[in-house]
């Protein structure tokens, strides 16, 4: 753990019993007076910490806020690549831009930047990405892949599979489907978008995996232009319940940690076992086996979505039996 706060939060979050003050102080490398000071700081940040006489400290509640030390605490002390450095902004234009700047300043692979709110969130194909405050997880991961630039479509496939797994872990019983190349659907609604950007110019070599997850939105929280097809992890739990039934909010920090964990766990397979990632992406695909329409700069083409190529590109079989391959710069929808 990098900081005393991360250590304290990790111990408090993992404890089933109140933690005696001397034990906590020693683990965090603090004097009892310093520990009391840190506890006051954490309470100010929204953590409900109780001191039970003769027993010690207990965590009663946690805030619905993304806090770098708390995310580190949730991830735990093990070695990791993705999430080895976490930065949280209350507001920024686009987390992809922040990571690009930090990458140019030499930031290391695995840096993750979250923003509670984006004022210029971007989606694919030049679209805007609505990033309302404290409702979702808007974040970008810095990667420095060793494989050639031509293989970069792999990154979207890896991210989509890892995110689908994380969502199913966070919401047991759910089913996360991938709409190629970069959307995750829950119960027929788009809940996640992925935007990969990067640079391979000259000496510069990095990829930014931007991820937007709608977590605690209710139906009215989406802008009208996307409301008909957007959903959130929370709305996906409504199932057959009536729309006026209250849905409790989900634990965003815990979901953020689960996402980073799955991205990290699957990262070695990007280079070593990519066919396994591809097979899972195919099995989760909303498009495969269906008749789809691809809108390309050169016009519109239709065909059966047949499978994914070895680097994650989509293969269609056209009307005349011809093979058509798409890399992600096109809009592909069900016909």
Report how far residue 255's alpha carbon sits from residue 135's, in angstroms, rounded to the nearest whole number. Answer: 12
Taking the complex as a whole, the smallest distance from the CB of residue 226 to ligand BTN amounts, in Å, to 10
Q: Which position among 194, 266, 277, 332 is part of the footprint of ligand BTN (CB under 6 A)?
A: 194
Q: Which is nearer to ligand BTN, 5 or 264 (CB)?
A: 264
**Residue number with CB closer to ligand BTN (127 or 169):** 127
Q: Which is nearer to ligand BTN, 131 or 258 (CB)?
A: 131
In terms of C-beta density within 10 A (0-12 exposed, 13-18 middle, 19 or more buried), how is residue 150 classed? exposed
**How far, in Å, CA of 319 to CA of 112, rounded?**
44
Helices (H), 76-192: 95-104, 153-170
Tell me if 310 sits within 8 A of 267, measured CB to CB.
Answer: no
Rounded to an integer, what distance in angstroms lies between the CA atom of residue 124 and that of residue 195?
6
CB of 54 to ligand BTN, least distance (A): 47
- With 0-12 / 13-18 / 19 or more C-beta atoms within 10 angstroms meaning exposed / middle / buried, residue 322 is exposed
| Binding segment toward ligand BTN, per CB under 6 A, in 9-17, 40-48, 120-128, 309-317 | 120-128
- The reply on whether position 160 binds ligand BTN by CB under 6 A is no
- Which of 321, 327, 332 is CA-nearest to residue 294? 332
Q: Does 253 sit near ligand BTN (CB under 6 A)?
A: no
Among residues 192, 144, 200, 149, the alpha carbon closest in space to that of 167 is found at: 192
35 near ligand BTN (CB under 6 A): no
Binding status of residue 123 toward ligand BTN by CB under 6 A: yes
* CB nearer to ligand BTN: pick between 129 and 206: 129
Residue whose beta carbon is closest to ligand BTN = 193
Alpha-carbon radius of gyration of the chain: 22
Compare residues 198 and 212 and give the one whose CB is closer to ligand BTN: 212
User: Is there binding between residue 121 and ligand BTN (CB under 6 A)?
Assistant: yes
Q: Which stretch binds ligand BTN (CB under 6 A): 33-41, 132-140, 223-231, 257-265?
A: 132-140
Contact between 124 and ligand BTN by CB under 6 A: the answer reads yes
Residues 79-98 that bind ligand BTN (CB under 6 A): 94-96
Give the number of residues in contact with ligand BTN, rule: CB under 6 A: 22
The answer to whether residue 153 forms part of the interface with ligand BTN (CB under 6 A) is: no
Tell me which DSSP letter residue 297 carries: T
Which is nearest to 143 in space by CA: 122, 158, 128?
Answer: 158
Binding flag, residue 198, ligand BTN (CB under 6 A): no
Member of 110, 198, 212, 328 binding ligand BTN (CB under 6 A):
212
Secondary structure (H, E, C), 211-266: EEEECCCCHHHCCHHHHCCECCCCHHHCCCCCCCCCCCCCCHHHHHHHHHHHHHHH
- Residue 236 is a binding residue for ligand BTN (CB under 6 A): no
Where along the sequence are the contacts to ligand BTN (CB under 6 A)? 94-96, 118, 121-124, 127, 129, 131, 138-140, 182-183, 193-195, 210-212
């Amino acid at each position: 753990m990098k900081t005393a706060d991360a250590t304290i939060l990790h111990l408090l979050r993992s404890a089933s019993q109140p933690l005696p003050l001397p034990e906590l102080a020693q683990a965090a490398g603090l004097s009892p007076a310093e520990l009391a000071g840190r506890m006051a700081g954490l309470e100010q940040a929204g953590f409900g910490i109780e001191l039970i006489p003769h027993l010690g400290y207990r965590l009663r509640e946690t805030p619905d806020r993304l806090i770098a030390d708390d995310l580190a605490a949730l991830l735990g002390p093990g070695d990791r690549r993705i999430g080895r450095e976490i930065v949280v902004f209350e507001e920024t234009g686009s987390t992809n831009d922040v990571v690009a700047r930090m990458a140019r300043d030499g930031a290391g692979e695995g840096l993750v930047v979250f923003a509670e709110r984006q004022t210029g969130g971007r989606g694919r194909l030049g679209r805007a990405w609505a990033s309302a405050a404290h409702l979702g997880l808007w974040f970008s991961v810095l990667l420095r892949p060793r494989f050639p630039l031509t293989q970069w479509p792999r990154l979207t496939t890896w991210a989509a599979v890892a995110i689908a797994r994380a969502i199913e872990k966070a919401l047991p019983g759910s089913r996360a489907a991938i709409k190629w190349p970069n959307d995750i659907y829950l119960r027929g609604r788009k809940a996640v978008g992925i935007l990969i950007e990067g640079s391979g110019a000259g000496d510069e070599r990095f990829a930014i995996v931007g991820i937007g997850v709608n977590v605690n939105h209710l139906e009215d929280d989406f802008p009208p232009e996307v409301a008909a097809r957007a959903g959130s992890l929370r709305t996906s739990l409504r199932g057959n319940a009536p729309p006026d039934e209250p849905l409790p909010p989900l634990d965003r920090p815990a979901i953020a940690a689960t996402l980073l964990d799955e991205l990290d766990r699957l990262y070695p397979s990007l280079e070593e076992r990519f066919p396994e990632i591809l097979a899972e992406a195919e099995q989760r695909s909303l498009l495969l086996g269906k008749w789809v329409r691809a809108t390309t700069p050169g016009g519109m083409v239709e065909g059966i979505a047949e499978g994914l190529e070895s680097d994650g590109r989509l293969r269609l079989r056209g009307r005349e039996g011809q093979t058509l391959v798409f890399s992600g710069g096109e809009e592909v929808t069900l016909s």
